[in-house]
Amino acid sequence: MLYQREEEGRFREMLQWKRYISSSWTEEELEQLNMTLDRIPYLQPQSAENQSPSKRSYFLPMDMNLPRVREGLTRCLGQIGIAANVILSRDELQKTALLDVLPEYASKLHAIQFLQNFLDISPASTLFAGDSGNDMEVLASHIPSVCVANASPEVKEEALRLSAENGCPQSLYLAKEYGPPLGGNYSAGVLQ
């Protein structure tokens, strides 16, 4: 979800974005999506607070081949006519893999592009930072991005590979692991 700050300092959901993504799936498609995903034995639904009409979230075993899972799920959903954005990442602390299934245009990349349009901000005036699989679409895009040093080696490799495949390797910076204070992890990677 995208939130907009009001004058009183409170935040409210950005209705323009909500309308944009909520028109992506019909009720029938959402029902078909749920039935399809519920039949996959290795997917365990996350709690109700992590679900919405525009997002389905699951846990899956940490040792699964996530690129292969993404490819299979995308193909399976496409065969039943559901255009979806399948996002996979790993939660190293919880020792589990995470799956989010979103409408095709409900991704971090689309949200950034929506905000750039809405706020009239050029891509050159934007900087994105990320460290996991759910950041990959932006890390591998034309938007200037930093893959911070605490990202796993797999995320770094995939970001480099995909940004090259997408013709925009110059848009990706891999933060270096220096000692403090600019160690390259988290916000220190952005400062580099």
The two three-digit tokens of residue 174, written as one number: 């891999």
Token pair for 137: 């679409």
pLDDT at res. 71: 92
Let me know if the fold of 25-103 is the same as that of 108-191: no
Average pLDDT of the chain is 92
**pLDDT tens readout for residues 27-56:** 898 899 999 999 999 999 999 999 987 889
pLDDT at 180: 74
Q: Is the pLDDT of residue 63 over 80?
A: yes
How many Cα atoms occupy the beta-carbon half-sphere of 31 within 13 Å?
Answer: 3
* Residue 105: band (very low, low, confident or very high) from pLDDT cuts 50, 70, 90: confident
Question: What is the per-residue pLDDT across 70-95, written as a single tens digit (0 to 9) for each?
Answer: 999 999 999 999 989 999 988 888 99
**Burial group, residue 162, by CB count within 10 angstroms (0-12, 13-18, 19+):** middle
51: Cβ contacts below 8 Å, ≥ 6 apart: 45, 57
Fold of 25-103: Hypothetical Protein Ta0175; Chain: A, domain 2 (3.90.1070)
Q: Read off the pLDDT band of 24 (50, 70, 90).
A: confident
What is d(CA 116, CA 41) in angstroms, rounded to the nearest whole number? Answer: 40
E strand residue ranges, the chain: 3-5, 11-13, 44-45, 56-60, 84-91, 96-103, 128-130, 145-147, 172-174
Q: Band the pLDDT of 21: cuts 50, 70, 90.
A: confident
Which residue carries 């925009």 as its tokens? Answer: 168
pLDDT > 90 fraction of the chain, expressed in percent and rounded: 70
- Please give the CATH topology (third level) of the domain spanning 108-191: Rossmann fold (3.40.50)
In the chain, what are the domain boundaries?
25-103, 108-191
Residues in the chain: 192
pLDDT score at 25: 85
User: Quick one: pLDDT band at residue 171, thresholds 50, 70, 90?
Assistant: very high
Quick check: 98 pLDDT over 90?
Answer: yes
Q: What is the dihedral of CA 157, 43, 70, 2, to 10 degrees?
A: -80
DSSP bridge pairs for 59: 44, 98
Tell me the CA distances in angstroms from 17 to 6, 59, 94, 110, one per residue in order. 16, 26, 31, 10
pLDDT in the model for residue 179: 76
